[in-house]
């Protein structure tokens, strides 16, 4: 395990009171909702950022907002750090605990409370999975738009924590654009309702501030989300190119021409090989780069958009064009793309970067990424949301070789600095977590961060909420 | 009132703010002052306008982003976009008509007030299109948040916090926002003769169809002729906008027309008529009446809008029409503002909020412009304000 990223020093006063804390928490929760034995705690020691792990002090699995409030109130009274957790699919370590922390897992709060089709809104508990929302309204012709690749497992609470995106965000926006309201428990157990089924709320946009705050401002227990009428049809089309540069230039020209497909996904040759081996989606193996472009709407609309896209692709040397001929084929094409991370995990350990760059910089950043990773003697596979410039280089390494792991981490940091220097940002949809925390000063000045931390303190004055994340440990206000 | 500060650079603003914070001088922050009647009366003698901080600083149409200094006139932004067949998808309202103001609205003012029009229903509000900001906080520090890329979750989203904060948390100096291609074609399906409740059902039905309605408004009988002439069938008009590729718009328009033609007279408006109609809806044309009659902007659950208006009609003289599928109610009171009653009814129907947009000075002095917040939220908002503007010098009192 690399040890470059430090966690906050555990509070000895908290560790010393461990048994008493566990006893007190047991009084606040129903039977079966508290884990305190070592064996039971181990599954909570990390998330999808597997390079780091820390066994927490205890795990609370509340069933109601009132129980979440009671646990938070208790923890804040005794200064016990709290780490919220949905399904533990964070790629940036957002849900990795710390030794003195109580994890509050929302997995038992997994009910859909209200589906209101006339107002195109659903109210769900935080532990409902992303895909469950769409499934619940699919028969009525609706869906919930943000679709992170982990949507089978990840929860809406976690999506809100990280302001998650997904392949179809190019047209429909990310979580914050599809969120109407939340029930939020503050550090001291106060419960507030932000937003609702109306399109906007009075006062400051606290909902916008909470979305993407990585569990540092409070714990979301319920969410009101926007539902959208499902388009008549959707068709993913594969475009193969002889080089990554040409694929990148094609993306820029499609967007620049005024066409906004619902998704434009990019895969380079290593990623194509990995995904095809897993999903047998029929990806062309003889190309250097592949775009999955999805159009949607009526037959006439899809035909018209595709004709324009095919014409543009022709100007960029496209060598293969394949339209899905059936719903099964379309599903396979997406299965291959959405299982890219899992499929990569079958052949090597990897860390997944998430920088976003302006579209005009895509080709340059792709090229430099390859050079950087090669410079560390490692391999990289690129699979990402090209339409909005959100890159996901997967750096392959061996987690059991500490030197290899350190090189992978160093390469990742170089790539993220490259993204910022190209006019982009450290993270487009995965969050800062612990992974990118120590790079924050590359994107922001200390004054910028001080302002963010001051606003954070308005919600959590004693820094008990997920405290090891987002902000570099040095330069924080004195507690 | 003192003569206004009219700084030309961000550094000048920072100097002014530092001096004001030290002296405890409250500042009334404005752009072009076309919306200066928003909110409660500002307890500040010293105006500061950003209108001399002007100019588009970067525009790359292929990347669909633009950056501009806060005081850049909207007219300049819109002209540059039009030249490249692009637009601000959130369709910001021009408030000069209803507010009875003149001068130039600025891009900073649009984002400071989170001003959004009819397409907000499906394309999102101003806040959904704002990607990055620079602002001066109450200590005179220059703060950057967000960036110029479409997807960015790096750090706390102060962009959203500042958007819609009406100059009470910071002075925006530069904004970077998303722009979108102008739809090549558009049309409006008009259904005549529905009452408010029927219209609410019809709009919900239209938005459940896979036709991508980009605007849904109900123009009640009393205002309808201000929008759509008498050559069309009589009665209220429920209007549904479609945009996109020409071939697709005509197919979708046919689908939408056939969904209603069995139950009510239906007409189809062409592109030109569509553009005029939705600009008029955006700018609340019937109430741009040169009066001081109290004008409310009410935001509720879409299907609740007509119930609210029905209840109010029994108790007071009101005139109203609906945008956002019925969730945005423009409400003009004939005499008193009736703020307490209005807010009581909204609460009774399950929540939402009412903003007093326009009224005489006497009415404004007696009526909180913004919906009072629940105690837990109000104290949190106060703590946030304290972190950005500790001396309380930015637009004091404006948001209550």
Phi first, then psi: give them for residue A267, nearest 5 degrees: -135, 140
Mind telling me how many Å the CA of A401 is from chain B's nearest CA? 30
Residues of B in contact with A452 (CB under 8 A): 145, 155-156, 158
Q: Do A304 and B245 touch (CB under 8 A)?
A: yes
* β B318-323/A263-268 pair status: unpaired
Q: Specify the pLDDT at position A51.
A: 86
Do B306 and B202 lie in one domain? The reply is no
**Tokens matching residue B126:** 């101003």
| CATH code, domain with B137 | 3.30.465.10
Mean pLDDT, residues B306-331: 97
Instruction: Determine the Cα–Cα distance for residues A395 and A432; give it in Å rounded to an integer.
Output: 18
B18 contacts in chain A (CB < 8 Å): none
Same domain, B296 and B278: no
pLDDT value at residue B253: 96
Answer yes or no: do B268 and B320 share one domain.
no
Minimal Cα–Cα distance from B171 to chain A, Å?
14
* C-beta atoms of B353 and A198 within 8 A: yes
Q: Is B359 contained in some domain?
A: yes
- Any domain includes B117: yes
How far B150 CA lies from chain A's nearest CA (Å)? 6
pTM of the model: 0.97
Nearest CA in chain B to A231: B210
State whether B175 and B214 are in the same domain: no
pLDDT band at A3 (very low <50, low <70, confident <90, very high): low
Q: Is residue B43 part of a domain?
A: yes
Shortest CA distance to A361 belongs to which of A383, A393, A382, A388? A388
pLDDT number for residue A479:
59
Q: Judging by DSSP bridges, how do beta strands A142-143 and A82-85 pair with one another?
A: unpaired
**B150 in any annotated domain:** yes
> pLDDT, tens digit, for every residue of A238-275?
999 999 989 988 998 898 887 889 999 999 999 999 99
Establish if B389 belongs to a structural domain: no
Give the distance from residue A291's alpha carbon to the nearest chain B alpha carbon, in angstroms. 18
**Interface membership of A382 toward B (CB under 8 Å):** no
Query: Which among B61, B148, B371 has the least Cβ separation from residue A256?
Result: B61
| Residue B381 maps to a domain | no
Contact between chains at B247 and A300 (C-beta distance less than 8 A): yes
Give the residue from chain A lying closest to B355, CA to CA.
A202
Query: Reading across the β-sheet that carries B56-60, which strands appear in turn?
Result: B56-60, B65-69, B171-178, B130-136, B142-146
With bands split at pLDDT 50, 70 and 90, how would you rate the model's confidence at A72? very high
Smallest Cα distance from B211 to chain A, Å: 7
User: Is B379 a domain residue?
Assistant: no
Q: A358 vs B149: CB contact, 8 Å cut-off?
A: yes
Confirm or reject contact between A194 and chain B (CB < 8 A).
yes
What is the count of residue pairs from A and B with beta carbons less than 8 Å apart? 264
Instruction: Give the residue from chain A lying closest to B169, CA to CA.
Output: A204
**The pLDDT of residue A336 is above 80:** yes
Q: What is the mean pLDDT of residues A54-60?
A: 97
Q: Do B386 and A385 touch (CB under 8 A)?
A: no
Please indicate whether, in this complex, the C-beta atoms of B371 and A203 are within 8 angstroms of each other.
yes
**Domains in chain A, CATH or no CATH each:** 12-105 (3.30.43.10), 112-229 (3.30.465.10), 233-322 (3.30.70.3450), 348-431 (3.30.70.2740)
Whichever domain contains B319, its CATH number is 3.30.70.100
Q: Are the C-beta atoms of B257 and B67 separated by less than 8 Å?
A: no
Please say whether the beta carbons of A86 and A76 come within 8 A. no
Percent of chain B with pLDDT over 90: 96
Q: Which of A121, A256, A455 minimises the CB distance to B156?
A: A455
Could you say which of B181, B200, B218 is where a domain stops? B181
User: Does B174 share its domain with B308?
Assistant: no
Say if residue B102's pLDDT is above 70.
yes
Which long-range contacts (C-beta less than 8 Å, at least 24 apart) are formed by B224-229?
B226/B280, B226/B285, B226/B286, B227/B277, B227/B280, B227/B281, B227/B285, B227/B286, B228/B190, B228/B269, B228/B277
Nearest CA in chain A to B327: A198
Shared domain for B20 and B168, answered yes or no, is yes
What pLDDT, on the 0 to 100 scale, is given for residue A223? 98
Q: Which residues in A lie closer than 8 A to residue B139 (C-beta atoms)?
A: none
- Say if residue A477's pLDDT is above 90: no
pLDDT tens-place string over residues B132-189: 999 999 999 999 999 999 999 999 999 999 999 999 999 999 999 999 999 999 999 9
Let me know if residue B152 belongs to a domain: yes
The yes-or-no verdict on residue B1 having pLDDT over 80 is: no
What's chain B's average pLDDT? 96
A443 touches chain B (CB under 8 A): yes
Tokens of A468: 């090891």
Report the C-alpha gap between B350 and B41 in whole angstroms: 29
From the candidates A170, A208, A390, A475, which should be mutated to test the interface with B, based on the most B CB atoms within 10 A? A208
Residue in A120, A252, A390 closest to B62 by CB: A252
pLDDT at A2 over 80: no
Does position A1 have pLDDT exceeding 60, yes or no? no
Q: What's the ipTM?
A: 0.97
Contact B154 A304 (CB under 8 A): no
Q: Has residue A297 got a pLDDT over 60?
A: yes
Write the residue in A117, A173, A455 that is nearest to B387 by C-beta: A455
- Listed by number, the residues of chain A in 116-145 with a beta carbon closer than 8 Å to a beta carbon of chain B are 117-121, 140-142
| End residue of a domain, out of B138, B164, B181 | B181
Same structural domain, B239 and B104: no
Q: Are residues B51 and B171 in the same domain?
A: yes
Q: How many domains does chain B have?
A: 3
> Are both B164 and B211 inside the same structural domain?
no
Please report, rounded to a whole number, the percentage of residues in chain A having pLDDT higher than 90: 85
Chain-chain contact of A451 with B164 (C-beta, under 8 angstroms):
no
**Does A160 reach chain B within 8 Å, measured CB to CB?**
no
Interface test with A, best of B150, B159, B400 (most A CBs within 10 A): B150
pLDDT in tens, B25-75: 999 999 999 998 999 999 998 999 999 999 999 998 888 999 999 999 999
Indicate if B248 and B295 belong to the same structural domain: no
Per-residue confidence (pLDDT) for residue A259, from 0 to 100: 83
Q: In what order do the strands lie in the sheet with A112-116?
A: A112-116, A121-125, A219-226, A179-185, A191-195
Give the domain extent around B315.
Answer: 285-369
Judgement on whether residues B159 and B26 belong to the same structural domain of the protein: yes
Which residue of chain A is at minimal alpha-carbon distance from B323? A199
Q: Give me the CATH number covering residue B277.
A: 3.30.70.2190
B51 and B167 housed in the same domain = yes
Q: Which residues contact B45 (CB under 8 A, 6 or more apart)?
A: B1, B2, B25, B26, B28
| Residue A298 confidence class, pLDDT cut points 50, 70, 90 | confident
What is the 8-class DSSP label of residue B2? P
A210 closest CA partner among A440, A474, A460, A391: A460
Q: What pLDDT is recorded for position A37? A: 96
**Closest-CA residue of chain A to B128:** A177
Chosen domain end from B260, B282, B304: B282
């Amino acid at each position: 395990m690399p040890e470059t990223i430090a966690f906050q020093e555990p509070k000895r006063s908290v560790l010393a009171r461990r048994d008493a804390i566990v006893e007190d928490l047991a009084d606040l929760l129903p039977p079966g909702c508290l884990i305190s034995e070592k064996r039971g705690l181990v599954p909570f020691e990390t998330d999808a950022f597997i390079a780091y792990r820390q066994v927490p002090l205890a795990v609370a699995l509340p069933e109601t907002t009132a129980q979440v409030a009671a646990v938070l109130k208790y923890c804040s009274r005794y200064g016990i750090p709290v780490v919220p957790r949905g399904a533990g699919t964070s790629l940036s370590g957002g849900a990795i605990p710390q030794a003195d922390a109580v994890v509050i897992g929302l997995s038992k709060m997994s009910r859909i409370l209200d589906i209101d089709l006339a107002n195109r809104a659903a109210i769900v508990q935080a532990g409902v999975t992303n895909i469950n929302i769409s499934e619940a309204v699919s028969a009525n012709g609706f869906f919930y738009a943000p679709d992170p690749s982990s949507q089978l497992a990840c929860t809406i609470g976690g999506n809100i924590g990280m302001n998650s995106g997904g392949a179809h965000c190019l047209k429909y926006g990310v979580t914050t654009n599809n969120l109407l309201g939340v029930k939020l428990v503050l550090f001291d157990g106060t419960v507030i309702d932000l937003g609702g089924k109306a399109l906007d709320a009075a006062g400051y946009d606290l909902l916008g501030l909470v979305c993407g705050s990585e569990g540092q401002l409070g714990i979301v227990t319920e969410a009101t989300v926007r539902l959208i009428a499902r388009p008549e049809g959707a068709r993913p089309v594969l475009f193969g190119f002889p080089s990554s540069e040409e694929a990148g230039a094609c993306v820029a020209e499609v967007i620049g021409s005024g066409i906004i497909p619902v998704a434009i996904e990019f895969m380079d040759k290593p990623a194509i090989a990995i995904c095809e081996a897993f999903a047998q989606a029929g990806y062309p193996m003889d190309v250097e780069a592949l775009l999955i472009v999805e159009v949607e709407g009526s037959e006439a609309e899809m035909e018209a958009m595709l004709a324009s896209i095919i014409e543009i692709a022709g100007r960029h040397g496209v060598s293969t064009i394949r339209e899905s001929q059936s719903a099964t084929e379309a599903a396979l094409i997406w299965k291959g793309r959405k299982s890219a991370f899992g499929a990569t995990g079958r052949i090597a350990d990897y860390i997944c970067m998430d920088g976003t760059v302006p579209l005009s910089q895509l080709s340059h950043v792709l090229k430099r990424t390859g050079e950087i990773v090669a410079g560390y003697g490692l391999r990289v596979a690129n699979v990402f949301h090209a339409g909005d410039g959100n890159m996901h280089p997967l750096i392959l390494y061996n987690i059991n070789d500490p030197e290899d792991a350190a090189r992978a981490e160093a390469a990742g940091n170089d790539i993220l600095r490259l993204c910022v220097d190209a006019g982009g940002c450290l993270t487009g949809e995965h969050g800062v977590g612990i992974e990118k925390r120590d790079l924050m000063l590359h994107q922001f000045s200390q004054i910028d961060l001080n302002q963010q931390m001051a606003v954070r303190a308005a919600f959590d004055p004693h820094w008990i909420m997920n405290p090891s994340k987002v902000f570099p440990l040095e330069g924080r206000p004195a507690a | 009132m003192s003569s206004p500060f009219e700084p030309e650079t961000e550094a000048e603003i920072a100097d002014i703010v530092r001096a004001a914070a030290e002296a405890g001088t409250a500042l009334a922050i404005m752009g072009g002052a076309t919306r200066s009647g928003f909110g409660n009366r500002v307890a500040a003698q010293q105006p500061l306008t950003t209108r001399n901080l002007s100019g588009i600083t970067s525009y790359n149409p292929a990347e669909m982003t633009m950056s501009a200094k806060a005081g850049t006139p909207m007219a300049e932004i819109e002209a540059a976009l039009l030249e490249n067949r692009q637009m601000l998808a959130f369709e910001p309202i021009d408030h000069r008509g209803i507010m009875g103001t003149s001068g130039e609205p600025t891009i900073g003012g649009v984002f400071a007030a989170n001003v959004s029009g009819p397409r907000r229903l499906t394309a999102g509000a101003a806040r959904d299109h704002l990607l990055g900001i620079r602002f001066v906080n109450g200590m005179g520090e220059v703060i950057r948040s967000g960036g110029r890329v479409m997807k960015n979750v790096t750090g706390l989203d102060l962009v959203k916090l500042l958007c819609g904060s009406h100059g009470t948390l910071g002075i925006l100096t530069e904004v970077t926002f998303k722009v979108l291609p102008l739809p090549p074609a558009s049309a409006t399906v008009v259904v005549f003769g529905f009452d408010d409740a029927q219209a609410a059902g019809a709009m919900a039905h239209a938005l459940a169809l896979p036709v991508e309605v980009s605007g849904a408004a109900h123009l009640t009988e009393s205002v309808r002729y201000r929008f759509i002439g008498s050559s069309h069938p009589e009665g209220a008009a429920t209007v549904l906008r479609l945009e996109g590729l020409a071939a697709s718009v005509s197919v979708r328009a046919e689908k939408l027309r056939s969904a209603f033609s069995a139950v009510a007279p239906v007409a189809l408006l062409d592109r030109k008529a569509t553009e005029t109609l939705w600009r008029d809806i955006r700018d609340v044309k019937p109430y741009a009446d040169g009066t001081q009659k109290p004008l409310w902007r009410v935001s509720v659950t879409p299907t609740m809008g007509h119930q609210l208006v029905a209840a109010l009609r029994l108790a007071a003289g009101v005139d109203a029409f609906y945008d956002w599928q019925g969730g945005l109610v423009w409400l003009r009171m004939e005499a008193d503002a009736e703020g307490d009653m209005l807010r009581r009814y909204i609460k009774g129907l399950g929540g939402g909020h009412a903003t007093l947009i326009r009224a005489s000075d006497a009415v404004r002095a007696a009526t909180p412009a913004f919906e009072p917040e629940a105690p837990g939220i109000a104290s949190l908002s106060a703590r946030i304000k304290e972190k950005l503007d500790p001396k309380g010098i930015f637009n004091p009192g404006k948001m209550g």
